[in-house]
Chain A
Amino acid sequence: GENVEQHPSTLSVQEGDSAVIKCTYSDSASNYFPWYKQELGKGPQLIIDIRSNVGEKKDQRIAVTLNKTAKHFSLHITETQPEDSAVYFCAATESNTGNQFYFGTGTSLTVIP
């Protein structure tokens, strides 16, 4: 089955700096890669996703990049704000036949004001 690794497990940045979280996956059949943000006391929420037919996707201050050859994808948050503090999860699946997402182990991001 798929194995998703995520690094770092914790990340602290100063407000206004950028944050990068990296994930690797093992199954070359995986073709859909969502990112989830989990705020304290809440469920994970989808914030951005990328499919294997594109290399980069942006949505305001967040972006995701995908390198299919190397089997890794990354989340980039620019101009970080205190409200970005949360746990972030990457995930992977084969979107046509897969029956579950394979999640990374999470990154706890703290943005220091």
Chain B
Amino acid sequence: DTAVSQTPKYLVTQMGNDKSIKCEQNLGHDTMYWYKQDSKKFLKIMFSYNNKELIINETVPNRFSPKSPDKAHLNLHINSLELGDSAVYFCASSQTRGLGYGYTFGSGTRLTVV
């Protein structure tokens, strides 16, 4: 029973397309995150939602838009995809807004823009 699940696992698309990545957690956590991992393995936070409220909105292109329909789901929409968007995107969740127990990460979505 997967705790944090992301779909799709792989996404290959052409420049200019619009795509979405979905994330769901069944841990009862109330905070969810999107991270981008580049080819050098750096983990860069993009967004965070707490109970459907946006609490972290890092400097990312406004082509990226998160949506949280409820506290168990956090989706990432990307418009007008560019080559530089190619990366692995991780969803994560945490138990409370206080972070005393760490994140649980999903298995990642490898996005390749051609």
A residues bordering B, Cβ < 8 Å?
A: 32, 34, 36, 38, 41-46, 49, 51, 87, 89, 93, 95-101, 103, 105-106, 108
Contacts and interface: CB of A to CB of B under 8 A. Distances in A.
A96 B96 CA distance: 9
Given A32-B100, A34-B102, A43-B105, A105 B56 contact: no
A23 to B, nearest CB: 14
26 contacts: A32-B99, A34-B103, A36-B105, A38-B41, A41-B107, A41-B108, A42-B108, A43-B92, A43-B106, A45-B105, A46-B104, A51-B100, A93-B99, A95-B98, A96-B100, A99-B97, A99-B99, A100-B33, A100-B45, A100-B48, A100-B56, A101-B99, A101-B102, A101-B103, A106-B42, A108-B41
A86 B79 CA distance: 33
B83 interface: no
A42 B4 CA distance: 12
